[in-house]
Structure 1
């Protein structure tokens, strides 16, 4: 199934929202407290916006479309938890308007794991 998700993940990397792009600039290339992140990473059967495998932390950046997908997001979070991941979920406007608070929350989660 990974092979099925990989082309979609690659397309999604080129269609990032403003919030995802802003967060990626902070997380990429070990810039964030030395942690390595991947973006739009297939984690069967889902694609995570950002993942740090070393700390088993997944970061999801949600836009308005997620207001209609609450059940799907809850199922996804439960599945990721069964795989040992902690899921941090932020709204686009939180990332854009409260970037330092979002980064603090991410830093805290990474160091707690």
Structure 2
């Protein structure tokens, strides 16, 4: 499991993000990632990792799941830097379009399954 710096000053911001989640975040959380529904793995919402806040993270899988809405088309460089930082800590980062969560959740699940250790998706 990756270890990462923790900044307490981000906690109120993370809480605010959890309380104002996007429809895609709510759907992915409630239907797939919450309460160890995804193959028994624990995911956290709006987890602070260094000076960033990941939409969803599973420490055991070393996996960060980022949902990208329309605003991310203007944040390509910022997202690249953020992804590189998380990867430097040992996380794999998967970016999923919010529209994909809303319109094709089965495909999103298959994508996430590809990050499972072998034989866990059976």
TM-score after normalising by structure 1: 0.95
| Pairs within 5 Å for 1:6-17 | 6-17=11-22
Q: Which residue of 1 aligns with 2:34?
A: 28
Aligned 8 A contact 1:57 1:110 in 2: no
- Matched residues in 2 for 1:2 and 1:19: separation? 26
- Matched residues in 2 for 1:67 and 1:55: separation? 27
Query: Structure 1: which 4+ aligned runs deviate by more than 2 Å?
Result: none
TM-score after normalising by structure 2: 0.89
The unaligned stretches of length 5 or more in structure 1 are none
- Matched residues in 2 for 1:23 and 1:8: separation? 20
1:39-58 Cα shifts (integer Å, max 9, x gaps): 00000110000000001000
Q: Which residue of 2 aligns with 1:54?
A: 60
1:46-97 Cα shifts (integer Å, max 9, x gaps): 0000000001000000111111100000000111111000000011101111
RMSD of equivalent CA atoms: 1.0
- Matched residues in 2 for 1:83 and 1:73: separation? 16
